[in-house]
């Protein structure tokens, strides 16, 4: 059995008419892998993590973590998991050390083992020199590091991270991503949610793409990209009526889809090298002036776009 097994998970808020946040989700996570849930805001990623953390009761389906059911064996599940929520769930008027010590106590640590472990974690997150400072004095990146540290005190077997890099500087983000890889190397299984394609790509062994509460694709990065036939993305800026331009280009041979995004045209093409000249041709013919062009190799954004017709970053 896989370390995390999710079967037909369903969550509807305020049934019978309320929002269905998670709709029949099934997946599994092997021990020791980094598994990502990738999807735009509102896809159901946070709800999924909340259910797996035993914060929310599923309306249907079940899941197990380390063999323990999230419905019937919550205590065992909670011992095994460490949860890093999306918001900074810490006490701003306590110091970093006090925060970590408190959370450690909540996981059952006490006395000198607790103190030692707190020091270890502070070292891990590289904040030993700031341990006596109150959290309210920390930068965003530092707070996120403590946020992660608080989940590590009891050495969980799996770590749930819910969009841990939102709104922080590139340096801190780099530190966090590297830290996660380190943890994984030491044996911690990781469940990571994000809407940043690059993160999912860099970190994950396997990725699940979610939209509207459902999983629409799953696999390694290569598998996913290949599944859409290796289509490339071409972005063009035009000095013309965008909608008419899109309509024109849709008809061009080799163009799979065309949509407007941020005032630019975003096209999926099967082969960039042959499609681009054709696009220029059509443009010249119709008097459309192209002012900018960007070609991107197939990636997860493309996958999402192909599968849903929408962009990942909404």
Partner 1 sequence: MRKVFYIAFKDVRRTFRDIPALATMLAAPLIIALVLGSAFGGSTGFSIAPTRVVVVDLDAAPAQSAGGQIGESIVATLTGPGLKDVLLVEQVVTEQEARDRVDDGDAAVAVIIPAGLTAALTQTQAASTSIVLYRDPTKTIGPGIVNTVIQRVVAQVNGAAAAAGTAAQLAVATGVTDPAVIIQLATTASQAFVSKAQSAPLLTVDAREPQVTAAEKTKVVGVAGPVLAGMMVFFMFLAASNVARSILDEDVNGTLPRLFTTPTPRGVILTGKFLSVMLVVLIQAVVLIVAGRLIFGIDWGAPAPVGALTVGGAAVSAGFAVCLMSLARTPGQAGAIASGVFLVMALVGGNFVGTANVGGIFGTVRLFTPNGWLLKGWDSTLRGGSMGDVLLPVVVVLAFALVTLSVGVVLFRRRFS
**Residue matched to tokens 């459902």:** 214
The CB-of-111 to partner 1 minimum distance in angstroms stands at: 11
CB nearer to partner 1: give 79 or 235: 79
Smallest gap, in angstroms, from Cβ of residue 107 to partner 1? 6
Residues that bind partner 1 (CB under 8 A): 50, 53-55, 75, 78-79, 81, 83, 85, 87-91, 93-94, 98, 102-103, 105-108, 110, 150
CA-closest candidate to residue 273, choices 226, 232, 236, 227:
232
Strands 214-219 and 255-261: unpaired
Residue closer to partner 1, measured from CB, 114 or 269: 114
- DSSP summary character for residue 33: -
Q: Least distance (Å) from partner 1 to the CB of residue 115?
A: 14
Q: Which is nearer to partner 1, 189 or 248 (CB)?
A: 189
For the residues of 93-137, what is the DSSP string, one character each?
A: TSBHHHHHHHHHHHTT--HHHHHHHHHHHHHHTT-GGGTTSBGGG
Q: How far apart are CA 311 and CA 290, in angstroms?
A: 22
Q: Shortest approach of partner 1 to residue 93 CB, angstroms?
A: 5
Given the complex with partner 1, which of 70 and 312 has the nearer CB atom?
A: 70
Q: How far is 216 from 237, CA to CA, in rounded Å? A: 30
Q: Smallest distance from the beta carbon of 61 to partner 1, in angstroms?
A: 20
Contact 20, 42 (CB under 8 A): no
Quote the least distance from Cβ 78 to partner 1, whole Å.
4
Say whether 246 sits in a helix, a strand or coil.
helix
152, 172, 174: which is closest to 161 by C-alpha? Answer: 152
Nearer to partner 1 by Cβ, of 1 and 75: the residue is 75
Q: Which two tokens stand for residue 153?
A: 């005190």
Closest distance between partner 1 and the C-beta of residue 105, in Å? Answer: 5
| Cβ proximity to partner 1, 72 vs 110, nearer residue | 110
Cβ closest to partner 1, residue 86 vs residue 128:
86
Quickly list DSSP for 65-87.
ETTEETTT-HHHHHHHEEEE-SS
Q: What is the DSSP letter of 143?
A: H
């Amino acid at each position: 059995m896989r370390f995390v097994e999710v079967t037909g998970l369903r969550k509807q808020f305020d049934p019978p008419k309320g929002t269905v946040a998670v709709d029949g989700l099934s997946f599994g996570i092997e021990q020791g892998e980094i598994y990502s849930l990738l999807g735009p805001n509102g896809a159901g990623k946070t709800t999924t993590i909340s259910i797996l953390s035993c914060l929310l009761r599923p309306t249907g389906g079940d899941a197990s973590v380390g063999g323990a059911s999230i419905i019937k064996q919550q205590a065992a599940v909670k011992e095994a998991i460490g949860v890093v929520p999306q918001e900074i769930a810490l006490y701003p008027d306590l110091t970093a050390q006090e925060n970590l010590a408190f959370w450690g106590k909540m996981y059952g640590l006490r006395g000198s083992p607790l103190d030692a472990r707190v020091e270890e974690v502070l070292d891990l997150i590289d904040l030993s020199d700031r341990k006596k400072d109150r959290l309210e004095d920390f930068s965003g990146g530092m707070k996120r590091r403590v946020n992660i540290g608080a989940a590590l005190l009891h050495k969980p077997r799996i770590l749930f991270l819910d969009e841990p890099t939102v709104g922080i500087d590139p340096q801190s983000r780099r530190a966090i991503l590297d830290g996660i890889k380190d943890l994984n190397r030491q044996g911690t299984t990781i469940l990571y949610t994000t809407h940043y394609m690059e993160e999912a790509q860099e970190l994950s062994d396997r990725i699940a793409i979610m939209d509207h509460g459902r999983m629409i694709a799953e696999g390694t990065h290569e598998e996913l990209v290949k599944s859409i036939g290796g289509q490339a993305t071409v972005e063009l800026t035009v000095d013309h009526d965008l909608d008419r331009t899109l309509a024109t280009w849709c008809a061009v041979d080799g163009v799979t889809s065309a949509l407007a995004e941020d005032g630019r045209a975003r096209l999926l093409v099967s082969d960039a090298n042959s499609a681009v000249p054709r696009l220029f041709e059509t443009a010249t013919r119709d008097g459309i002036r192209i002012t900018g062009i960007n070609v991107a190799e197939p990636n997860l954004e493309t996958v999402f776009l192909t599968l849903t017709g929408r962009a990942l970053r909404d």
